[in-house]
Amino acid sequence: MSDQYYGWWSKPGGGIYLLHNFASASPREECITGSFTLPGSFLRPMLSYDGQKVLFAWCHYYPGLAAETNKLDKANVPEDAFYHVYEMNLDGTGVRQLTHGKYDDFDGRYLPDGRVVFLSTRRGQSLQAGRETAARTMMLSDLPDCYVRCGGGPERPVAVYTLHTMNPDGSGLCAISPFEMFEWTPDIARDGSILYSRWDYVDRDNMPYMGLWTINPDGSNARMVFKNYTKSPHCVFEAKPIPGSQRLIFTASGHHSQTMGSLVLLDPAAGPEGNGPMTRITPEVPFPEIEGWPLTYYVNPWPLSERHHLVAWGIEGAQIQGPGGWDRWHAVQRPPNGMALYLYDAETRSRELIWCDPEIACGDPIPVRTRPRPPIIASTLPDESPKEGRFLLADVTRGLTRAQAGEVKSLRIVAVPAKTHPTMNFPSLGITADDPGKCVLGTVPVETDGSAYFRAPSGVIVFFQALDARGVAVQTMRSATHVQPGQTLACIGCHEQRQQAPPPRSAIASQRPPSRITPGPEGSWPLRFDQLVQPVLNARCVSCHSEGATDPRGARYNLTAAKSYESLVGFGKPSLRDQIWTAYRRGTSTEGDGISARSAILSLLDSPKGHYDVRLSARDRERLFTWMDTYAQRVGHFSDQQEQELIELRRSCSALLEPRTESQTAATGAGPYKTSE
């Protein structure tokens, strides 16, 4: 689902064609990309609203490039081997290359105001993504990419691509999404926003969470439409609005396959999760992988109405039987001519053949005609603004079922830095093999009515945790969000139903200036176990829990720096490792069931009998809660360079930060908590 959009995996041949007289007895193909004389690959065209121009992606095919063992070094990959966005007239004249550099750019779609939204790997490794980071790629053609957390390597770097916009001539590049993981198949919704798919797997299984989102063209107000928790299908791809309907059509695709599968009508008004909003219009084709491997596939739906759709369909034949039975992985390529164009009737579940080329596969059918231009969503962002925005939360208890009014005292803000090396679990950050980067920016207060209003760095992907008076996470956000410079993003509650109306009253927090962020203890920004937790162990535990301890029982449970991490995550039933794997596989946050709330370590220390004379102070607990509730990682960054960039980010965000009180500051440097220990 990711590799299919990299130029080095492309195959040569084909082009963009006009199909003339398709309803007659003598239809005729006309290739309009004949000016591309080099062998190459064309990708996902789109027609302008007036039906006069075509956006598409193309890359030059290089034999042997797929076998290159170090694609991580961009010097080994020619610039034109990457996909770039082009535009041309419908008759094939006026070809213009709009993007350049050693970045894969594709899926260009015309915005209602004439600009273009597209996907690109040029989001790169920036902690704050935006206009400046995109502009750097115009000056430097080979900046490093960021990568998927659950696969890849130098021979197969799985570079993340996200939403970008540009002017019609290719200028004015902007990374409108700072998301650290993939975004796919953008299209324009009927209200002028951008429909797109994205992969949310922070602290949960990487397999099934490719849901449908929408975002404004200026990068503000990213919001989930469908499938944050729903596990089947794996992927909601190629979502398109249906003319004359409030429904959408999408391709239900698989994790380990290219974009293709079963067709589904989606009614967003019916809810954001589960089977209720979905109507399967090709039920004979199972959802790929999670329901088995189909032998036939649909792809590239273009809705004409709720009943009729232009589609590509083919017989894949991709299941192969080996010594161990049916092959688990969907790795067999379809035949060169394995897809043809059809008109699909959802009412009769029948296909009418429109065109089948005897030599090449056909896809992406688009009617050559004008189409309505959606309304322009005017940006409300200021032209010039510091790199910060604001979040306004109306009532944190909206959506929570156990927390009482006033129980949630603060929010923890956690940033998610992107992966900077393509090899899975390298470096190892924590317990799972695809741990995300994490950086605890700090906490902000929640008012007595459950509201919060606070400043935050713009262009940084973050999630929130609701904390009780002790600092224990009551609930954790299972997706991520961001603000653009000068934006205020409001939400109703914590895991509330998206269809709910906001509270009728005015939030207390909104009646005061926005809070600044109170940073956590040393070792939380950047996140480091040796600086966050080890000082507590050195002060409270190591005297009894070390190899040289007088008590042999304590000596067996070694909490010195060399052994403490493995000792802590393996202690108790359930251990931290057990808790994290359970939550990872469950994929949802259960209110009141956070890691520190159910920790065997803290249960031992807080038991009526206690644990010898160990007494944890409030600052000790803050360190342990922070570490456990961010899933007990060793570190939260992927390289020494990224760690230094996180330190620099803290310096640049100094205006957003509230100085810690004297007692809080003591936890970050005084006495036995010095980093040098």
**Amino acid 549: pLDDT:** 81
Alpha helices, H only, 308-447: none
**Amino acid 496: pLDDT:** 79
Cα–Cα distance, 663 to 640 (Å, whole number):
30
327 has a pLDDT exceeding 80: no
**Amino acid 186: pLDDT:** 98
pTM score, whole prediction: 0.94
CA separation, residue 155 to residues 38, 102, 158, 326, 662 (Å): 25, 16, 9, 27, 51
**Amino acid 10: pLDDT:** 94
Question: Alpha carbon 631 to chain centroid distance?
Answer: 19
Tokens of 548: 């040289």
Pairing state between β 388-393 and 488-491: parallel
Please state the rounded mean pLDDT for residues 341-366. Answer: 94
**Amino acid 331: pLDDT:** 42
Residue 387 · residue 128 · CB < 8 Å: yes
- Higher pLDDT, residue 42 or 405: 42
Please state the rounded mean pLDDT for residues 618-642. Answer: 97
Query: Which of 118, 102, 112 is closest to 174 using CA atoms?
Result: 118
CA separation, residue 183 to residues 1, 107, 160, 529, 616 (Å): 11, 11, 8, 31, 44
Length of the chain: 677
Q: CB neighbours (10 Å) of residue 564?
A: 23
**Amino acid 334: pLDDT:** 61
Q: CB neighbours (10 Å) of residue 120?
A: 30
If you ran DSSP here, which 8-state letter would residue 368 be given?
Answer: S
Which DSSP string do the residues of 104-168 spell out, in sequence order? -EEEEEE-TTS-EEEEEGGGTT-SS-SHHHHHHHHH-TTPPP-B-SSS-BTTB--B--EEEEE-T
Please state the rounded mean pLDDT for residues 607-622. Answer: 91
State whether the Cα torsion 542-546-548-554 is positive or negative. Answer: positive
**pLDDT, tens digit, 9 for 90 and up, residues 491-547:** 998 887 777 777 777 899 999 999 999 999 999 999 999 999 999 999 999 999 998
If you ran DSSP here, which 8-state letter would residue 626 be given?
Answer: H
**Amino acid 319: pLDDT:** 44
Reported as type and span, the H/E element at residue 567 is helix 564-569
Lowest mean pLDDT among 78-82, 139-143, 666-670: 666-670
Tokens of 97: 């290359």
Question: Alpha carbon 540 to chain centroid distance?
Answer: 40
Q: CB neighbours (10 Å) of residue 662?
A: 8
Of the chain, the percentage scoring pLDDT greater than 90 comes to 85
Residue 536 · residue 620 · CB < 8 Å: yes
